[in-house]
Chain A
Amino acid sequence: MPTKIEKDLITGTDTTGHEWDGIKELDTPLPKWWLYVFYACIAWSLVYYVFYPAWPSLSSHTGGLLGYSSRVEIREQLAAQTAERAPFVERIRAASLEKIEGQADLLNFAIAGGRAVFAENCAACHGSGGAGATGFPSLADDDWLWGGSRDAIWQTIRHGVRNADTDSRQSQMPRFGVDGILKRTEIADIAEYVLSLSAMPADAAAAGRGAPLFAENCAACHGEKGEGNQELGAPNLADKIWLYGGSRLAVTESITNARAGSMPAWSGRLDDATIKMLTIYVHSLGGGK
């Protein structure tokens, strides 16, 4: 609280009456031009009201003479960017995937564009950077279900996997346990054999019993040595990569219930050039063949 307003002897200025530990606050007058600067700012704000959106009303707001809107501005910026990209997009539309790869500027454009599209559409399942997750294949490793060439990736993105698209990747693994094709003990033996294919610890006797069962029931798709078949989307069972887990339990579950992951077809949702960019990007993630 102001206690005592007095005249400061040194400056001749009044004090405000505030005092802390003997230090008194001077009530030095503000320079008048400072006040005028404040008035000028108020005048400026009035000019702003006239030209720019300012006051809210119940359902809208005053528009201002310039008709400015940040939404319109961002729409214009997006349109300008699209126009700027158009020549590149046109070249990508016209070029083959191999041709795009051969031109440095086009390749960089495709990878950058593909990265953005991937983050919007693909990362939800495949993970950012194509890291993958259980049930959703990693796109950065060297193992491919349906092929890792540019053409194979392009085909997979366009038509998807196990969906209504007539050209989609199709295959169906039988549900060996649920449908009673194999007995539980047989499934257990096959599981041991599958584990042994990728040099994982397995019961040798059980694996021995599982080998002929594997040849009879599984080798048609997964190959005699479990090397897989990309024509059928049959995973390689002899490598260290397990889409649904490589534990004894997970392998047993896969044989019993079967697995059938699906992926939407993107040809109707993304345009040709975008799918090409996406293909180039996925191919560049480290596993492209």
Chain B
Amino acid sequence: MPLDMAPEGLRPDEPVSTRVQRASVPLYASRIKVYPKAVAGFFRRIKWAVLAVCLAIYYTAPWLRWDRGAGAPDQAILIDLSGTRAYFFGIEIWPQEIYYLTGLLILAAVGLFLATSLFGRVWCGYACPQTVWTDLFLWVERMIEGDRNARMKLDQQDLSAAKAARKIAKHAAWLMIALLTGGAWVFYFADAPTALQAILTGGASVEMYFFIGLFTATTYTLAGWAREQVCTYMCPWPRFQAAMFDENTLIVTYQNWRGDPRGKHKAGQSWDGRGDCVDCRQCIAVCPTGIDIRDGQQLECIGCGLCIDACDSVMGKVGRPQGLITFDTFANQQALAAGKPSAYRLLRPRVIIYSSLLAAVGLVMLGAFLTRDTVELNVQRDRAPLFVTLSDGSIRNGYTIKILNKAREERRYELEVTGLPGATLNVVGHADAAGSDTVDLAAKPDSVASYRVYIAAPQAALEDGSMPIVFTVREQTTGERATYSSVFLGSGQ
């Protein structure tokens, strides 16, 4: 918007965007408080629904139970840091499998890219925790201090008992929600019923109280005070979202070809020669980031669509078609402005690429989970000494093998080493099995069994300096196997 369209001739109580309010350019800018007005409509209903679902999941998820048998936690979703396990319903993740988390993060990132390239910043507008909790805090504020005009008036008033009472009530309510938020967070890291009892009786660990306090403080600060400042100044997402947009992305759009020239409109006046925008500025009044969407796409816009609801209700009142502000694409806007038919293009290269990436990573993850074994084998070859010459001239190598038994019962595994003719196997602590081809090894439930293995082979068996060998463990009842490729090293003579 050109500067000469600064708000001259506006009544003082009319909404003005923060950008216009910031008249001069000082070195440091004070925060201009945003007073979002309540609004009703289609997008507001979706926003309430998403908020309800997100909060419901957040608060109830740690209380879901999932029976894993004796000795294992029965919480469906649990990150057990001291036990070094993560549980998600039927899935149990070991620290060695942290790559599943990488997969999840890639899925989340690509999903975000796809949603953004299709619908703009819907994540920001609807599902981001910052948006959800800010919306909740705004609702509380509105309940206690009233809607936009009442809140602005209250803030301008001198301090009185009535004002203080409202402010104290609001902050108390905010702190309560923040405390419940922080309190719920720790349930994801401990058995929820036990932890709740411990917290209430003062018996929880210092760490737990610290994290409850930390998340209470951040929730209160970010959702109560910082609000849109988080999106504008702290979050990196608004800065690189533009890379996912193109002219066919649906974004919140003011149809200026239809709305301008804008101006006040009195009932009965003609609509000829002017646009549909009656300059009621309700789109600014309801905006949670305090912008004027009629300035065009801008980085503060979180794509929540509340201005659409505000505009639609006004258009209904003045008897003009709805959708003056709408989710639309830049390409379609250009076509409409030029009087051409609608031009939507959903399937663009970036949409196809993001979708295929999403599908591919999702399939890999699914495959990894479906074929996930309850046994894994790790072999560490001794590096000092690299190899040992024995008195009969044969060569011996030392290995530490770790059998990861992910089952919930004790298992017995048969260890076999292949690839080295004439080799003898010797497991420390299994003297009886010395010299045989296979050794029977036990692993406790849900734990790592570590064994020292010595392999000796005649010098003649070494065709080269090193020979590839394969360690195999086979579970004796289920037949599950895990293998590890290693090498046997000699002097190379």
Contacts and interface: CB of A to CB of B under 8 A. Distances in A.
Interface of A: 7, 9-14, 27, 29-35, 127-132, 138, 140-143, 236, 239-241, 284, 286-287
Contacts of B3: 7, 9, 12
Interface of B: 1-3, 19-20, 22, 25-31, 229, 233, 295, 382-386, 388-393, 396, 398, 428, 452, 454
Contact of B384 (A11, A14, A127): A127
Given A30-B28, A131-B386, 5 more contacts: A131-B385, A142-B391, A143-B391, A239-B392, A240-B393
Contacts of B452: 284
A241 B385 contact: no
B385 A138 contact: yes
A121 B30 CA distance: 65
Contacts of A143: 390-391
29 contacts: A9-B3, A10-B295, A11-B19, A12-B3, A12-B19, A12-B22, A13-B25, A31-B31, A31-B233, A32-B29, A33-B31, A34-B28, A34-B233, A127-B385, A129-B382, A140-B385, A140-B388, A140-B398, A141-B389, A142-B390, A143-B390, A239-B393, A240-B389, A240-B391, A240-B392, A240-B393, A241-B390, A284-B428, A284-B452
Q: Give chain A's interface secondary structure class.
A: loop
A146 B64 CA distance: 65
A188 to B, nearest CB: 25
Given A31-B229, A32-B31, A33-B229, A132 B385 contact: yes
A33 B29 CA distance: 9
Nearest to A132: B385
Given A9-B3, A142-B391, A239-B392, A29 B385 contact: no
Contacts of A142: 390-391
Contacts of A132: 385
Contacts of B391: 141-143, 236, 239-241
Nearest to A242: B389
A241 B428 CA distance: 23
A34 B229 CA distance: 10
A30 B29 CA distance: 6
B384 A286 contact: no
Contacts of B30: 32
B2 A9 contact: yes
Contacts of B31: 31-33
> Which among A14, A31, A236 has the greatest number of chain B C-beta atoms within 10 A?
A31
Contacts of B28: 29-32, 34-35
A29 B384 contact: no
A282 to B, nearest CB: 13
Contacts of A34: 28, 233
